[in-house]
Amino acid sequence: MLTITDLRAEIDGKEILKGLSLTVNAGEVHAIMGPNGAGKSTLGYVLGGRPNYEATGGSVTFGGEDLLDMDAHARAAAGLFLGFQYPVEIPGISNVQFLREALNSQRRARGEAPLSGGEFLKLARAQADALGMDQEMLKRPVNVGFSGGEKKRNEMVQMGILGPRLAILDETDSGLDIDALKAVGDGINRIMRAPDKAVILITHYQRLLDYVQPDFVHVLEAGRITRTGGPELALQLEREGYGVAA
Question: Which residues contact ligand ADP (rule: CB under 6 A)?
Answer: 11-12, 14, 16, 34, 36-42
Distance CA 193, CA 199 (A): 8
Region near Mg ion per CB under 5 A, out of 36-44, 104-112, 182-190, 214-222: 36-44
Shortest separation between residue 34's beta carbon and ligand ADP, angstroms: 6
Rounded to a whole number of angstroms, the minimum distance from the CB of residue 30 to ligand ADP is 15
Kindly state the smallest distance separating residue 36's Cβ from Mg ion, in Å: 5
- We find the least distance from the C-beta atom of residue 96 to Mg ion, in angstroms, to be 30
Q: Are 155 and 172 in contact (CB under 8 A)?
A: yes
Return the one option of Mg ion, ligand ADP, none that residue 16 interacts with (CB less than 5 to 8 A, by type). Answer: ligand ADP
- Count of residues in contact with Mg ion, rule CB under 5 A: 3
How far does Cα 88 stand from its chain's mean position?
Answer: 14
Alpha-carbon distances, residue 197 vs 24, 110, 170 (angstroms)? 10, 18, 17
The full DSSP string for 171-190 is: STTTT--HHHHHHHHHHHHH
Nearest-5° Cα angle at 48, 45 to 53: 40
- Choosing from 41, 143, 158, 203, the residue that interacts with Mg ion (CB under 5 A) is 41
Q: Which stretch binds Mg ion (CB under 5 A): 33-41, 75-83, 91-99, 137-145?
A: 33-41
Stretch that binds Mg ion, among 31-39, 49-57, 88-96, 144-152 (CB under 5 A): 31-39
**Residue 38 vs 138, nearer CB to ligand ADP:** 38
Partnered with residue 218 across adjacent β-strands are: 32, 228
Cα gap 134→196, rounded to integer Å: 30
Residue 230: name its binding partner from Mg ion, ligand ADP, none (Cβ under 5 to 8 Å by kind).
none
Lay out the site mask for Mg ion across 134-163 (x = CB under 5 A, - = otherwise): ------------------------------
User: How far apart are the C-alpha atoms of 178 and 138, rounded to whole Å?
Assistant: 23
- Do residues 20 and 224 make contact, with C-beta atoms less than 8 angstroms apart? yes
Helical axes 148-162 vs 95-109, angle rounded to 10°: 30
Considering the complex, what minimum distance in angstroms separates the CB of residue 84 from ligand ADP? 11
Residue 11 binds which of ligand ADP, Mg ion, none (CB < 5-8 A, kind-dependent): ligand ADP
Among the candidate windows 37-45, 55-63, 67-75, 205-213, which touches Mg ion by CB under 5 A? 37-45
Gap between the Cα atoms of 107 and 77, Å rounded: 7
Neighbours of 8 (CB within 10 A): 18
Is the CB of 43 or the CB of 166 nearer to Mg ion? 43
Interacting residues toward Mg ion by CB under 5 A: 36, 40-41
